[in-house]
Amino acid sequence: MRPQVVAHRGASHEQAEHTLGAYTAALDAGADALECDVRLTADGHLVCVHDRDLKRTASTRGIVSTMNLADLDDLDFASWKNPWADLDDEAPEVDASLGKVLTLRSLLETVRDYDHRVELAIETKHPVRYGGLVERRLVETLADFGWAGADSPARVMSFSFSALQRVERLAPELDVVMLIEKAHHWPMLRRVIGEDWKVGPGVEELREHPGLARRLVASKRDLHVWTVNNAADLEFCLELGASAVISDRPAYMLELLGGSEDTATGV
């Protein structure tokens, strides 16, 4: 059984991250799941944006939490990825809507309407201006799709233990993934996280700290490893028995694995 291939912010190696174009490319490549980060706008919409400010992905000093969705919708979230595209006379026409800000609701609609089951790994960012409101709005939005209970295609991830506790209280049947940024955090986290929580370590941290890898494998928890982009790291994850690999290059991971989606594990 191969690990689930999760498209990190979509097919973000080739396309601008968190855009509909990136997620469409990931689906076309056969990704088993899509990963996204979510933040709240000033008028209460969940949008798929990683950074708190927009300097990197939209060339503006704006802060996501202080802007309305309509303001974000006026911005170009795709050009930064290929700033010379306008100079290529032979480049195909690109639908501008594929490079706009993407709301979580739109991404959920895309997944819902796809021709087979695709899972979602949704990361809530912290610390943020609105604190626990992010998780509340997330669970409410999932509930609108009937995805806040058992057998939901969605799971919630965070580096914040408190955030995942909130999700567990609001939707106890949803899967949660405790992301691990540093190896020295694990001894404390393993004492407090739920027995059925999954864990999400970074591949570089696992390589730099072999003891962490051994302890996580010994914990018998599902491992969702990020960000796995090359053959050596994929092989390392296979040796660890990872349940999911989160990659900017889902098509490449699937090519290396040589398996169709129906051979993936149901994580």
Report the alpha-carbon distance of residue 33 to residue 23 in Å, rounded. Answer: 10
pLDDT at 203: 98
Catalytic residue among 8, 13, 18, 224: 8
Per-residue DSSP letter, 261: G
The CATH number assigned to the domain holding 54 equals 3.20.20.190
Over 80-93, what HEC string results?
HHCCCHHHCCCCCC
Q: Is 18 an annotated catalytic residue?
A: no
Determine how many CB atoms are found less than 10 A away from the CB of residue 24: 16
Count of alpha carbons within 13 Å of 175, Cβ hemisphere only?
A: 20
Picking from 142, 95, 88, the residue whose alpha carbon sits closest to that of residue 119 is: 142
- This prediction has a pTM of 0.93
8 classed as catalytic: yes
Compute the distance between CA of residue 170 and CA of residue 17 in angstroms, rounded to an integer. 29
pLDDT at position 84 is: 55
Mean pLDDT by 10 residues, the chain (267 residues): 97 97 97 98 97 95 96 95 62 76 98 97 91 95 98 97 97 98 97 97 98 97 98 98 98 88 42
User: What pLDDT is stored for residue 90 in this prediction?
Assistant: 60
Whether residue 27 contacts residue 119, with contact meaning beta carbons closer than 8 Å, is answered with no
Phi, psi of 11 (to 5 degrees): -80, 70
Residue 251's domain comprises: 4-263
Q: Work out how many domains the chain is built from and give that number.
A: 1
DSSP 40-77: E-TTS-EE--SSSBSHHHHSS--BGGGS-HHHHHTS-S
pLDDT of residue 265: 41
Catalytic residue chosen out of the listed positions 50, 126, 185, 209: 50
Q: Which residue has the tokens 């949803």?
A: 174
- 237 three-state secondary structure: helix
